[in-house]
Chains A and B, each alone.
Chain A
Amino acid sequence: MRGIISGDKFKTLLKDGMSIMVGGFLTNGTPEGLIDLVVEANIKDLTIICNDGGYPDKGVGKLVVNKQVKKLIASHIGTNPMVGTLMSEGKLEVELSPQGTLAERIRAYGAGLGGVLTPTGLDTLVQEGKEIITIKDKKYILEEALGADLALVGGAIADNYGNLKYNKTMRNFNPIIATACELVVCEPRKIIDEINPENVITPHPFVDYLLVGEYND
Chain B
Amino acid sequence: MTDKEIIASRIALELNDGDLVNLGIGIPTLVANYVPKEKTVTFQAENGIIGLGGYVEGENEIVNAGGMGASILEGGAFIDTITSFTFIRGGHIAVTVLGALEVDQEGSLASWIIPGKKVPGMGGAMDLVTGAKKVIIATRHTNRGVPKILKKCRLPLTAAHQVNLIVTEMAVMKVEEDGLHLLEIHPSYTLDEIVKATEAELIINDVLPMKGVNL
Could you tell me which A residues sit within 8 Å of B by CB distance?
25-28, 51-52, 74-79, 84, 87, 94, 96, 98-101, 103-104, 107, 118-126, 166-176, 201
Known: A75-B121, A171-B48. A123 touches B157 (CB 8 A): yes
CB <8 Å contact, B48 and A99: no
Q: Are B123 and A172 closer than 8 Å at their CB atoms?
A: no
- Between A51, A98, A104, A172, the greatest number of chain B beta carbons within 10 A of the residue's beta carbon is seen for A98
How many residues on B have C-beta within 8 angstroms of the other chain's C-beta atoms?
41
Please state if A168 and B62 are interface contacts (CB–CB under 8 Å).
Answer: yes
A172/B48 in contact, CB under 8 A: yes
Residues from chain B with a CB closer than 8 A to the CB of A87 are 119
Q: B103-131 toward A: CB 8 Å interface, digit per residue (1/0)? A: 00000100001000011111111110011
* Chain B residues packing against A (C-beta within 8 Å): 45-49, 60-63, 66-67, 70, 72, 78-82, 84-85, 88-89, 108, 113, 118-127, 130-131, 156-160
* Residues of A with C-beta under 8 A to B113: 125
The distance in angstroms between the C-alpha atoms of A119 and B126, with both chains bound, is 9
Can you list 16 A-B pairs with a CB-CB distance of less than 8 A?
A26-B67, A77-B120, A98-B123, A99-B46, A99-B122, A100-B124, A104-B82, A104-B85, A120-B126, A120-B130, A124-B158, A124-B159, A124-B160, A126-B126, A168-B78, A176-B80
| Further 15 A-B residue pairs, CB within 8 A, beyond A76-B123, A122-B160 | A25-B67, A26-B66, A75-B123, A87-B119, A98-B125, A101-B126, A103-B82, A120-B159, A124-B157, A124-B159, A125-B113, A126-B122, A126-B126, A170-B61, A172-B47
What DSSP secondary structure best describes chain A's contact surface? mixed
Question: How close is A71's CB to chain B, nearest CB, in angstroms?
Answer: 15
Asked if B89 and A79 sit within 8 Å, CB to CB, the answer is no
Most buried by A among B70, B118, B158, B159: B159
CA distance A122 to B158 in the complex (A): 9
A175 near B80 (CB under 8 angstroms)? yes
Residue of B nearest to A173 (CB): B81
CB of B67 within 8 A of CB of A98, answer: no
User: How far apart sit A103 and B79, CA to CA, in the bound complex (Å)?
Assistant: 13
| Given A118-B89, A124-B159, A99 and B124 contact (CB-CB distance below 8 Å) | yes
Q: Is the pair B127, A98 in contact by a Cβ cutoff of 8 Å?
A: yes
In the bound complex, CA of A176 to CA of B85 (Å): 13
Q: List B contacts of A96 (CB < 8 A).
A: 119, 121-122
For the complex formed, measure the closest distance between the CB of A126 and the CB atoms of chain B, giving whole angstroms: 7
A123-B158 Cα distance, complex, nearest whole Å: 9
Asked if A122 contacts B130 (CB within 8 A), the reply is yes
Closest 4 CB pairs of A and B: A78-B120, A100-B85, A26-B67, A100-B127
